Structure 1
Amino acid sequence: MQLSNYTKEFKKNLNIAFPVMMGQLGHVLVGLADNIMVGQLGAAPLAAVSLGNSLVFIALSIGIGFSFAITPLIAEADGANDIEKGRSFFQHGIVMCCLNGILLFLLLLACKPLLYHLGQPEEVVNLAMPYIDIVAFSLIPLMIFQAFKQFGDGLSQTKYAMYATIIANLVNVLFNYLLIYGVWIFPRLELEGAAIGTLISRVFMLFFLFYILKSKKKFATYFVWAKKSLQKKVFKRLWDLGFPTALQMLFEVGIFTASIFLAGTLGTNPQAANQVALNLSSMTFMIAVGIGVTATIRVGNQKGMGNFKELRRIAISTFLLVFFIEAIFAIGFILLKDLLPLIYIDNAEVIFLASQLLIVAALFQLSDGLQVVILGALRGLQDVRMPTMICFISYWIIGFPISYYLGKAEALGSMGIWLGLLAGLSASAIMLYIRFTYLSKKMIQHATIAPKM
Structure 2
Amino acid sequence: MELTSYTKEFGRNLQIAYPVMLGQLGHVMVGLADNIMVGQLGAAPLAAVSLGNAMIFIAMSLGIGFSFAITPLIAEADGAEDLLGGRSYFHHGVILSTINGIFLFILLLIAKPLLYYLDQPPEVVTLAIPYLNIVALSMIPLMMFQAFKQFADGLSQTRYAMYATLIANVVNILFNYLLIYGIWIFPRLELEGAAIGTLISRFFMLWFIWEILRRKTKFSEYFKWSKKEMIKLDIFKRILSLGLPTALQMLFEVAIFTATIFLAGNLGTNPQAANQIALNLASMTFMIAVGLGVTATIRVGNQVGLKRYRELRRIGFSIFLLVFLIEAIFAILFIVLKDLLPTFYIDNAEVIMLAAQLLVIASLFQLSDGMQVVILGALRGLQDVKIPTVICFIAYWIIGFPVSFYFGQAERLGSMGIWLGLLAGLTSSALLLYFRFNYLSKKLIHSKERTVKYGAS
TM-score normalised by L of structure 2: 0.98
Match of 2:37 in 1: 37
Structure 2 CA distance for aligned equivalents of residues 72 and 356 of structure 1: 39
TM-superposed deviation, 1:199: 0.3
User: Which piece of structure 1 moves more, 25-34 or 55-64?
Assistant: 25-34
**Aligned-partner Cα distance in 2 for 1:16–1:229:** 30
**1:30: how far off?**
3.5
Instruction: Provide, for residues 203-224 of structure 1, a one-character-per-residue CA deviation record: whole Å limited to 9, x for no partner.
Output: 0000000000000011010000
Q: 1:384 maps to what in 2?
A: 385
Distance of 1:22 and 1:349 partners within structure 2:
33
Counterpart mapping for 1:197-216 below 5 A: 197-216=197-216
Query: 1 CA distance for matches of 2:57 and 2:384?
Result: 25
Counterparts in 2 of 1:257-296, with a 5 A limit?
257-296=258-297
Partner amino acid, structure 2, of 1:172: N
CA distance in 1, matches of 2:33, 2:141: 22
- For residues 326-367 of structure 1, what are the alpha-carbon distances to aligned partners after superposition, in whole Å with 9 as ceiling and x for unaligned? 000011111111111111111111111111111011001000
Equivalent pair of 2:88/2:229 in contact (CA under 8 Å): no
Q: Measure how far apart 1:26 and its partner are.
A: 2.1
Residue 361 of structure 1 aligns to which amino acid in structure 2? A
> Which shifted more, 34-43 or 165-174?
34-43
CA distance in 1, matches of 2:290, 2:56: 20
In structure 1, the residue matched to 2:311 is 310
Q: What is the deviation of 1:32?
A: 2.3
Structure 1: distance between partners of 2:67 and 2:213: 17
2:361 counterpart residue number: 360
Partner of 1:188: 188
Q: Provide the rounded CA distance (Å) in 2 between the counterparts of 1:122 and 1:99.
A: 33
Counterpart-to-counterpart distance in 2, 1:359 and 1:29: 26
Q: For residue 52 of structure 2, what is the aligned residue in structure 1? A: 52
CA distance in 2, matches of 1:144, 1:294: 21
1:64 aligns with 2:64: yes
- Alignment match, 1:420: 421
Alpha-carbon distance between aligned partners in 1 of 2:357 and 2:318, rounded to the nearest angstrom: 32
Q: Within 5 Å, which residues of 2 pair with 1:338-357?
A: 338-357=339-358
Deviation at 1:47, TM superposition (A): 1.0
For residues 269-310 of structure 1, give each alpha carbon's deviation from its aligned partner in whole angstroms, at most 9, with x where no partner exists.
Answer: 110110000000000000000000000000000000000000
Residue type matched to 2:127 in 1?
A: L
CA–CA distance in structure 1, aligned partners of residues 162 and 152 of structure 2: 11
- Contact 2:300–2:315 under 8 Å retained in 1: yes
Moved more, 196-205 or 44-53: 44-53
The answer for the alignment partner of 2:160 in structure 1 is 160
1:48, distance to aligned residue in structure 2 (A):
0.8
Tell me if structure 1 keeps the 8 A contact 2:278–2:359: yes
Q: Aligned partners of 1:178 and 1:96: how far apart in 2?
A: 34
2:85 maps to a residue whose letter is K
Q: Is the 8 A contact 2:332 2:363 kept in 1?
A: yes
What residue is the counterpart of 1:151 in the other structure?
151
Letter in 2 for 1:93: G
Distance 2:229 2:31 in 1: 42
Residue number in structure 1 paired with 2:99: 99
Structure 2 residue identity aligned to 1:174: L
Residue identity matched to 1:280: L
CA contact (8 A) 2:88 2:230 kept: no
Q: Which moved more, 1:308-317 or 1:58-67?
A: 58-67
How far apart are residue 424 of structure 1 and its match?
0.2
- Report deviation, 1:228: 2.4
Structure 1: 5+ residue stretches without partners: none
**2:275, 2:358 within 8 Å by CA — same for their partners in 1?**
yes
Q: What corresponds to 1:7 in structure 2? A: 7
1:83 matched residue in structure 2: 83
| 1:452, distance to aligned residue in structure 2 (A) | 2.0
Kept in 1: contact 2:73–2:86 (CA 8 A) = yes
User: Structure 2: which 5+ residue stretches go unaligned?
Assistant: none
State the alpha-carbon separation in 2 of the partners of residues 133 and 140 from structure 1: 13
Secondary structure in 1 aligned to 2:230? coil
* d(CA) in 2 for partners of 1:371, 1:296: 13
Q: 1:232-247 to 2 correspondence within 5 Å?
A: 232-247=233-248
Q: TM-score scaled to structure 1, two decimals? A: 0.99
- Match of residue 113 from structure 2: 113
Deviations 1:384-430 (A, max 9, x none): 00000000000000000000011111111111101100100000000
State the secondary structure of the residue aligned to 2:2.
coil
2: CA distance, partners of 1:177 / 1:349: 35
Q: Does the Cα contact within 8 Å between 2:156 and 2:298 map onto a contact in 1?
A: yes
Asked whether 1:223 is paired with 2:216, we answer no
Other-structure match for 2:402: 401
- Contact 2:92–2:230 (CA under 8 A) maintained in structure 1: no
Residue identity over aligned pairs, in percent, reads: 74
Greater mean alpha carbon deviation, residues 438-447 or residues 55-64: 55-64
Instruction: Determine helix, strand or coil for the equivalent of 1:228.
Output: helix
Paired residue type of 2:399: I
Q: Which residue of structure 2 aligns with residue 127 of structure 1?
A: 127
Aligned positions, number: 453
C-alpha separation in 1, matches of 2:161 and 2:434: 29
